[in-house]
Amino acid sequence: MTANAQQLSPEQQKLLRPKALNATGTFNALIDAVQVDFQTLTLVHDREQAIYRLIARHADNSVTVTKITIELPNNLRPGQVIQLDQWMSNEVNAWYAVKSPTTHYIVRCSTGTLILGSLQAGTIKISGTLDGITDKDVNWNTHTLKVEFDLTS
């Protein structure tokens, strides 16, 4: 936290946090070879952490919520191919989360690639593909994610 932010009240600090902006565009996702239509898409540019965050949310009959989250550092350039197994050095993260009445887990997409098509600040524009496999979930299953996205805030 910056020195100026430390002098602000909690209410004032909350106003400084990056805002999640609704996104429009395409987000095609296959999870374990099954097409999932995500209803809510948001983009965040967190300048303090120097990252962009894409969050896709799908609610299945309002009982099971599925999320895919992708975080990219500010310094990535269009056309870069990022190896997900090197997430500690390249600071790219992708997660798959499921929350239902009977189970709840979040797993990292730890192998595969993310290809950045475009990235633009201001009105956030981001496109690319994610092709990866997650770590094992609570049931010892991995999940295959294939995502194509082209979004604008």
Grade residue 44 by pLDDT with cuts at 50, 70 and 90. confident
Q: Which amino acid is at 106?
A: I
- pLDDT of 107 reads 93
Calculate the CA 150 to chain-centre distance.
13
Percent of the chain with pLDDT over 70: 84
In the chain, the N- to C-terminal Cα span, in Å, equals: 26
pTM of the shown model = 0.83
Query: Does 19 score more than 90 pLDDT?
Result: no
DSSP 105: E
Range 36-41 average pLDDT: 86
Counting beta carbons within 10 angstroms of the beta carbon of residue 48, is it exposed (0 to 12), middle (13 to 18) or buried (19 or more)?
exposed
Grade residue 47 by pLDDT with cuts at 50, 70 and 90. confident
